[in-house]
Amino acid sequence: MTVRYTKDHEWVRMEGDVAVVGITKHAAEQLGDVVFVELPETGRAFGQGDDMAVVESVKAASDVYAPIAGEIVDVNQAIVDEPAKVNEDPEGAAWFVKMKPADASALDSLMDEAAYKKLLENA
C-alpha cells in the first residue's frame, strides 16, 4: 500500500478506489495534545490544496488541506468524539477522511516516504 505525503504534512493512501487521508506523525507531534477535530460533511468536494478540516491542540489550531481533489465519502467520527486518538495513531486508525479522487494520478505529484523524510530532515 503506497502512502504519499504533502509538504503540509498530510498523508494519503489508496485503498481500492478510495483515498484515505490523515495528518502525519510529525504533524501530530508538532501540534501537541489534540483537543478538537472538525471534519467536512460527506458529499462535499474539494480541490487539491483546499482547506478541508481543522485540528486544534493545546498549542494551536491548524487547517488540514486536501492532498488531492475529490469528494468526501466517509469521515472518521471516532477522532471527532475522541480527538486524542490523533496523537495515538495519526497514520493509522486516526485517519481524517476518505475521498473519491477526481483524478487518482494526482497522487503521483505528491512525495513518497523517502522524499518526505528528506523534507523533515531539511526543516
CATH number for position 21: 2.40.50.100
pTM for the complete prediction? 0.95
Please check whether residue 112 lies inside any domain of the structure.
no
Looking from the CA of 112 toward its CB, the CA atoms found within 13 Å total 4
Please check whether residue 88 lies inside any domain of the structure.
yes
Please check whether residue 48 lies inside any domain of the structure.
yes
Please check whether residue 28 lies inside any domain of the structure.
yes
Please check whether residue 113 lies inside any domain of the structure.
no
Q: Which domain holds residue 99?
A: 3-106
User: d(Cα 105, Cα 120) in Å, to the nearest integer?
Assistant: 25
Give how many domains the chain has, as a whole number.
1
In terms of Cα–Cα distance, which of 57, 59, 74, 62 is closest to 21?
74
Instruction: Output the tens digit of pLDDT for each of the chain's 123 residues.
Output: 689 999 999 999 999 999 999 999 999 999 999 999 999 999 999 999 999 999 999 988 999 999 999 999 999 999 999 999 999 999 999 999 999 999 989 999 999 999 999 999 998
- Which cell numbers hold the place of 6? 504533502
C-beta of residue 38 within 8 angstroms of C-beta of residue 61: no
Please check whether residue 23 lies inside any domain of the structure.
yes
Please check whether residue 47 lies inside any domain of the structure.
yes
